[in-house]
Structure 1
Amino acid sequence: MTEATLARAQAGDGEAFRALIDPHRRELQAHCYRILGSVQDAEDVLQEALLAAWRSIGRFDGRSLRAWLYRIATNRCLNYLRGESRRPQPVGRPDQGEGRAGPGRFDEPWWLEPYPDDLDDLAPGPEARYDARESIALSFVAGLQHLPPQQRAVLVLRDVLGFPAAEAADILGTTQTAVNSALVRARAGLRPDRDPHDVPVPKSPAEAAVVDRFVNAFERFDLDELVALLTDDARLTMPPEPAEHRGPRAIAGFLLDHVGQDLTFLPTRANGQPALVLYLPDPSAPIRRAGGLIVITLQGDRIRRLTRFGDLGVLARFGFPRTLPRG
C-alpha cells in the first residue's frame, strides 16, 4: 500500500480502492468461508464487507490495511451468524440402521460446501497452529461450524491466521483477556476429524494412485476393491442431506447401488484435497449429466472419508459444465 494510492482511494478513486483491496480479496474470501462453511454465503458477506470498506475508507487511519479489512469482514460474518435463521432449515433425519448414523450421531453441518481451491500459497502468520492445507481441509471447516460464532472467529484469527492476541482483540472490538478465554474454550471444543500424519503429499504420485484405484474400482463395478480401499472407520456424508454411512461395506454398497455404472469422473481439487466430478449417462440423449462432486480424504494408501455434494451450483464454482458429450 502506498500513501498516494490510499490518498486517491480516500478521495473517492474507485480504481485506487481496488488496487488496495485486490491483494487481500482471496484470503478474505477464505476467511469468510472458514467461519461460515458456505462458499456462497462467504462471497455474499465478503461483498457486503468490501462495500462497507469502500464507504468507510475515508476514516481508515493508514496503519494496517489488512487488519482493518479483517475487522470489517469478521464482524460482517458474525452479524450474518446472528441472523442465520434466514437459512432454510433441512427436513428430517435418517432412520437409524445398519451402516447409517442415527439422529443422535449425525453432526455434519448441512450447509457445508466445498471450496474450489487449494489455498496452498497463503502463508499463515508466525503464531498460527495450522498450516494452509490443514486450515482449509473440509473436516476442519466442518469442525469449526460446531463452535459458537465468537469462539469460531477467535480461533481462526489466532490459530489459522496467526494474528497476535492484541490484534485479534482489536479486530473483534474486545479485550485480550476475552480473546484468550474464548481461544481456550474454542480449542477445547473444536471437533474436526483432523488429518492424520500419514496423509500423502498433495498432488503427489501416491495421492494420485489412490484416486486412480477408486476410479478404476467404480469403472469395474468392483465391490471388493472399493471395500479394500476404505479404512475400517470410513464415513460417507452428503450435505445437505441428513444422512451418513459408516464402514467400508456399507459405503461401497451404497455407492454402487445409488450412483450406478458407466460413469465418467473428471479430477479436480477442493479444500486442498483430491476431488472428482461425477457424470452419469442420460438414457434419453447422447450426453452425460453432472451428478455431483466427491471430495476424498486419504489416510496412507486408503480412503477414510468421502463427502459427496449433489448441488449442481457447486460445480459451476469449479468451472465444470452440467453436461458432456457421451463418448
Structure 2
Amino acid sequence: MNVAVDATRFADLTRQHHRELQLHCYRMLGSFDAAEDHVQEVFLRAWRSRDAFEERSSARTWLYRIATNACLDTLRRTAPPLQPYPDQLLDERPGPDAVAVGRETISLAFLAAIQLLPPRQRAVLILRDVLSWPASEAAALLDTTVPAVHSALQRARATLRERWPGGRLDWSPAGEPDPAQRELLERYIAAHERADPQALIDLLREDVRLTIEPGVGEWTGKAAVARALRRDMNTPGRWRMLPTAANRRPAVGAYVRGAGDTAFRPFALIVLRPEAGLLAAMDVFETPGLFAAFGLPASLDD
C-alpha cells in the first residue's frame, strides 16, 4: 500500500507522529503555540506533496524533513517567544521520541540556550545530539554534506559550552518531586495567595533568577527579585494558584482577580526550579492562552 496515494495510511502516520513532530518543532522554535501551528502546516505540506514521496526514505524521515524546513523558514523571519511545554503531554503515551523526551533536552534552560544558535546549527544539534540521527541522515535531511554537518555541530557545541561550561548537567531538569519539593511548592502558593512577599522571599536562594516573558524583564539575585516581588504583591486576595508541571519541572497556573470581578482569570504560568530546598529560578510566562493545554480551568470562582 503506497503512502503517497492512500489517505487511510496517511491519517495513521499523522496520528503516529503528531506528538514527536510537535516536540521537534517545539525544540526548534521554543514556543508551544508555534510548534502546534507548525505541525498542522507540516501535515498540510505532506498531504500536498504525498505523490512525490517515493519511499526511498522512511515516512518518519520525510515528515521530519518537512517539519525542519518549516521551522527554518520561520526562524529566518522571526524568533517566536519562549513558552513552556505541558508535562501531561510529554507523559501522554510512549512513542518513537519517548527516550529523548525523558532527557534534559526538554528543559527550559536547554531551550533558552539553543536560542543562541543560528537556525541551521540548531537543527543540526537537535538532529544529532537530541534525536541521535547519524550524520549522513542529518545531512540528507538538510540537503548538505556530512562535513558541513560535523562543522555545524562543532560550532553549536562550542557556543553552548561557552555559555554552559557544566554541559548538560547545568540544564538538567529535577527528578520526580520529593516531599521537600512538594512542601516548597505549597509554601510558594500559600505566600502568593496570602499576598505575603516576605514569606515568598524566604524561599529564595541568594542567586535566584526571575524572568517574565514575553520580554517583560529579568532579575538576578535575591535583593533584586525581592524588590520585584514586593512591588507586585501588594493587594491581598488577588491571587489563586493551581499546581501543574512544565518541562519536567514543578509549575503553577496563576489566576488574578481584577477590581470588580467575582472570578479569578488566567494570568501566567510560572515554572519553578527548586534546589536544595529553595527556589533557584522562577520563569513566568504571561500566556493565559496556554492554560487549556495544561488542563487548567478557564476561571476560578471567588
TM over 0.5: yes
- After superposition, the C-alpha distances for 1:262-315 in whole angstroms (9 at most, x for unaligned) are 221101111121110112233313222222111112223221111111122222
CA distance in 2, matches of 1:247, 1:253: 10
Q: 1:55 and 1:123, CA in 2 relative to 1: closer, same or farther beyond 3 A?
A: closer
* Alignment match of 1:56 (pick from 49, 68, 86): 49
Give the letter aligned to residue 68 of structure 2.
Answer: T
Q: What residue number does 1:180 align with?
A: 150
Q: 1:277 and 1:195, CA in 2 relative to 1: closer, same or farther beyond 3 A?
A: farther
For residues 126-275 of structure 1, the aligned pairs below 5 Å read 132-190=102-160, 191=163, 196=170, 200-259=174-233, 260-262=235-237, 263-275=239-251
SS of match in other structure, 2:82: coil
* Alignment match of 1:27 (pick from 12, 20, 35): 20
SS of match in other structure, 1:277: strand
* Alignment match of 1:316 (pick from 292, 296, 300): 292
CA distance in 2, matches of 1:122, 1:209: 33
Give the letter aligned to residue 121 of structure 2.
Answer: Q
For residues 30-45 of structure 1, the aligned pairs below 5 Å read 30-45=23-38
- How far 1:250 moved relative to its partner? 2.5
Q: What residue number does 1:286 align with?
A: 262
CA distance in 2, matches of 1:206, 1:195: 21
Q: TM-score, normalised by structure 2?
A: 0.86
CA distance in 2, matches of 1:31, 1:245: 30
Q: TM-score, normalised by structure 1?
A: 0.80
Q: 1:122 and 1:22, CA in 2 relative to 1: closer, same or farther beyond 3 A?
A: closer
RMSD: 2.6
Q: 1:301 and 1:194, CA in 2 relative to 1: closer, same or farther beyond 3 A?
A: farther
**Is the deviation greater in 267-276 or in 253-262?**
253-262
**Is the deviation greater in 58-67 or in 46-55?**
58-67
Work out whether residues 263 and 299 of structure 2, in 8 Å CA contact, stay in contact via their aligned partners in 1.
Answer: yes
Q: Percent identity?
A: 43
CA distance in 2, matches of 1:82, 1:196: 29
- How far 1:60 moved relative to its partner? 2.2
Work out whether residues 192 and 240 of structure 2, in 8 Å CA contact, stay in contact via their aligned partners in 1.
Answer: no
- After superposition, the C-alpha distances for 1:146-175 in whole angstroms (9 at most, x for unaligned) are 100010000011111111111111111111
Task: Give the gaps of 5 or more residues in structure 1.
Answer: 88-109
SS of match in other structure, 2:291: helix
Q: What residue number does 1:67 align with?
A: 61
- After superposition, the C-alpha distances for 1:9-49 in whole angstroms (9 at most, x for unaligned) are 422x4332110221111010111111111122222222222
**Is the deviation greater in 188-197 or in 52-61?**
188-197
CA distance in 1, matches of 2:31, 2:270: 16
- How far 1:195 moved relative to its partner? 5.4
**Is the deviation greater in 150-159 or in 282-291?**
282-291
Give the letter aligned to residue 32 of structure 1.
Answer: C
Give the letter aligned to residue 77 of structure 2.
Answer: G
CA distance in 2, matches of 1:255, 1:289: 20
How many pairs does the alignment contain? 292
Q: What residue number does 1:96 align with?
A: none
Q: Say whether 1:115 aligns with 2:85.
A: yes
Work out whether residues 122 and 132 of structure 1, in 8 Å CA contact, stay in contact via their aligned partners in 2.
Answer: no
- How far 1:196 moved relative to its partner? 4.5
Work out whether residues 226 and 248 of structure 1, in 8 Å CA contact, stay in contact via their aligned partners in 2.
Answer: no
Work out whether residues 151 and 183 of structure 1, in 8 Å CA contact, stay in contact via their aligned partners in 2.
Answer: yes
CA distance in 2, matches of 1:32, 1:198: 20
**Is the deviation greater in 51-60 or in 251-260?**
251-260
Q: 1:111 and 1:255, CA in 2 relative to 1: closer, same or farther beyond 3 A?
A: same
Work out whether residues 235 and 304 of structure 1, in 8 Å CA contact, stay in contact via their aligned partners in 2.
Answer: yes
CA distance in 2, matches of 1:164, 1:47: 27
Work out whether residues 266 and 278 of structure 1, in 8 Å CA contact, stay in contact via their aligned partners in 2.
Answer: yes
Task: Give the gaps of 5 or more residues in structure 2.
Answer: none
